[in-house]
Amino acid sequence: MSLLVSVSAAVVSLYLLVYYATCRAARCCSAVRLKGKTVIVTGGNTGIGKATALDLACRGARVILACRNKEKAEAAAFDIRTESGNNEVVFMHLDLSSLKSVRHFAETFLNSEPRLDILINNAGVLGPGRTQEGYGVAFGVNHLGHFLLTNLLLERLQQCGPSRVVTVAALLHRFGHVDFPLLALQKDLVSSQSACSSLQAYCSSKLCNVLFTRELANRLEGSRVSCFSLHPGVIQTELSRHFSLWLQLLVWPFARLFFLDPEGGSQTTLHCALQEDMEPLSGRYFSNCALQEVGAKGRDDALAKKLWEVSERLSSLS
């Protein structure tokens, strides 16, 4: 099994390094100001989420850091307020591994905040474990929690249109698959909690992000809400804390040479959230601040529709 994990990690690393050897990291060039606008950033207390929140705060937005860890989130909010000079940066508790917490967050937000202009589904996890409802943690947090959150906030987004939903997916969606019988049986997209399966579960959850965005765009056609998914780049973030020590040591030299820092990794998110005249591209996928084609499974409208219907049942929306 350790050999299989090593080979899988090597293949993925090689693919990513080749990809980025041919692509220069672009930057969001939008000069849009956000005074009077409200933005939610899930996982905004660290990594690219915090970098995204800082940029949006610097543009004058009211920024809600929707995070699980109160201490870290309040420290991040303080840092962002200090650096941006914007006091409209606040923490609201959200644990995406609990659908009950997602519902409580949405209720609290809708009762206290009159606007929502941009929802950034940024938070993500990689590793073994289960959510409070028993789903595999990557599927439950990366997809199902964000699916429910977006749907619960959709009416407010429509009221404040033109508005946007931006979901951070990954290039690794190309390696994902959605096995509905397995999901029904195991409450997960993989059959075990091994290191190799955790990586596969992450890839599959990112495919779900792409499919969710595609179906959301279909359902919102003609509305004033547009949505986008994206690959942020290969980033030095806390996702690696879920790796074993030997794998962290293996990845570290490549990370120092090739991986983007969180600010660089936030640029495509910002592009999707801020770039003007993006509405005709709703449902599409971006990388390096440019429109990109997704993998074949990410273009499957029937698969996207079925995932939506299954997710509605699993999150008790239907």
E strands, the chain, where? 38-42, 62-67, 89-93, 118-121, 163-168, 225-231, 285-287, 290-292
CA 246, CA 252: separation in Å to the nearest integer?
A: 10
Query: Which tokens sit at 86?
Result: 């914007």
**Contact of 90 with 65, CB cutoff 8 Å:** yes
202 is catalytic: yes
- The answer to whether the CB of 247 falls within 8 A of the CB of 214 is no
| Cβ-Cβ contacts under 8 Å for 17 (sequence gap 6 or more) | 254, 258
Catalytic residue among 19, 20, 135, 202: 202
Q: Which of left, alpha, beta for 143 (phi over 0: left; psi -120 to 50: alpha)?
A: alpha
Cβ proximity of 282 and 220 under 8 Å = yes
* Residues forming the active site: 202
